[in-house]
Amino acid sequence: MRLIFKKGKQRELLEDYKKSCGTDRWSGVARCLRVRENALKEWRYETVSLPSRIYRRLDSSGLYGRWIVEKKTDGWGRSLGGKNSPGRRNRIRVPEPSPLLAEFFGIIFGDGNVYANERYGAYQIRVACHPVQEQEYAEFVSKLFMALFGLKTSHIRRGRGLYTCADSRELADFLLKNLPGLKARFSFPPWLWADNECLRAFVRGLSDTDGSIYRLSNKNPDTLRIRFKNADKSLSAAYRKALLKLGFHPSRLTYRNVFLTRKEDIERYLKEVGFNNTKHRKRLLKIAPSYSGQIRMWENPDGETKYAGL
C-alpha cells in the first residue's frame, strides 16, 4: 500500500523521525530504516509516495494518520506510467508480406524478444547484438524497424549486449499474432513458405543472428562450413526444412545444430542468400578471400544498394 500525504506533511514526518533517531545525517536515518539513501531522498522531496510499511516505522503513535489524503495499491504508478507510455501510443504501418518482412521475422526469431505486459501497459520489441562486433548490424536492424513499421528505435547497452529497442503495443500484437512460434513450437506463416525469395530472406535473418561461418581446415582455406544453432530445437528443424526447400543439402539436426558443408552449397548460399551482418561478411573475407566476389548483392531498407562484401 502507498500513502499520499497532504503536501509538506511527508517531509515533516521524516524530519521528526530524524530527530528521534539522534543523528544529524540522513545517511544515519537510512540505516535506521534499512533503506537506500536514494529512496529516502525521494520520500523527503515527496516525489514518491510513502510505503505503508515505512510509515508504520516512522509514526508508531499514528499522529500523522490524519494527514493521509489517499491510499493506493502497490504498482499504481507503474500502471499509470504504462498506460501513458510510448509503448501504448506508438502506432505502426502494417506491412504486406515481403522479403524484407521475412528477414525481420528471421531476426526476431534468432535474437529478438517481444515483451508484453498488459497489467502495466508496457510493450517493447528488442533485438540483441554484440556491442562491438555488431554495431553496424544494429543500425541495419534500426532501418528495418523504420522501413517496415515507421518506428524509431533506441540503442541500449546492458551488460554484454547492445539492444535495438522499439516501444509499440501494436507491433507487439502484430508479431505475436503473425509469429505463433514466439510462444510455442515454430511454424511457418503460409506466405513465407510459398515464396522462395521470402524464404531466402528469412534464412538470412536467422543466419545473421544465430549462425556462423568458419573454415574446416587450415590446409584448405576454401573448405568452409555454415552453422546454425538455436536453443529452440523446433526452430533449428525449421531452418533445416527451409534449406531443403531451397535445394540445399544441410546435415541432419544434431544437438540443435544444422550444418551446410558442400562447396557447391556454400557458393550457392553466398550468391543467393548472403549475409547482412557485417560480422559474418568480415569473417568470411578474412578466412576465405577467394569468396569475396561471390557474396550476394543486397539492398538496405532505405533503398541504397550496397555490395555485401565491402
Q: Rounded to an integer, what distance in angstroms lies between the CA atom of residue 237 and that of residue 232?
A: 9
At 295 the pLDDT is: 60
240 band by pLDDT with thresholds 50, 70 and 90: very high
197 band by pLDDT with thresholds 50, 70 and 90: very high
Cα dihedral 289, 295, 297, 302 sign = negative
Residue 81 lies inside a defined structural domain of this protein: no
Q: Rounded to an integer, what distance in angstroms lies between the CA atom of residue 221 and that of residue 217?
A: 7
Say if residue 227's pLDDT is above 90: yes
Residue 301 lies inside a defined structural domain of this protein: yes
Number of domains in the chain: 3
Residue 114 lies inside a defined structural domain of this protein: yes
Say if residue 223's pLDDT is above 90: no
**Cell 510455442 belongs to which residue?**
184
**Is residue 132 located within the same domain as residue 70?**
no
pLDDT, greater one: 199 or 76: 199
Residue 62 lies inside a defined structural domain of this protein: yes
**Is residue 66 located within the same domain as residue 32?**
yes
Residue 290 lies inside a defined structural domain of this protein: yes
258: domain CATH number is: 3.10.28.10
Listed residues 155, 182, 209: the one ending a domain: 182
At 301 the pLDDT is: 63
Task: Say which residues have a Cβ less than 8 Å from residue 269's Cβ, sequence separation at least 6.
Answer: 226, 248, 260
**Is residue 128 located within the same domain as residue 24?**
no
**Is residue 197 located within the same domain as residue 147?**
no
**Is residue 232 located within the same domain as residue 215?**
yes
Residue 125 lies inside a defined structural domain of this protein: yes
**Is residue 103 located within the same domain as residue 202?**
no
**Is residue 300 located within the same domain as residue 194?**
yes
Listed residues 74, 96, 114: the one ending a domain: 74
pLDDT, greater one: 276 or 42: 276
At 89 the pLDDT is: 66
**Is residue 203 located within the same domain as residue 303?**
yes
pLDDT, greater one: 116 or 88: 116
The residue segments making up the domain with residue 202 are 190-307
Neighbour count for residue 223 (Cβ, 10 Å): 14
- Per residue in 53-66, pLDDT (tens digit) is 888 888 888 888 88
Residue 80 lies inside a defined structural domain of this protein: no
- Cα angle vertex 29, ends 25, 32, to 5°? 140
Q: Rounded to an integer, what distance in angstroms lies between the CA atom of residue 165 and that of residue 64?
A: 44
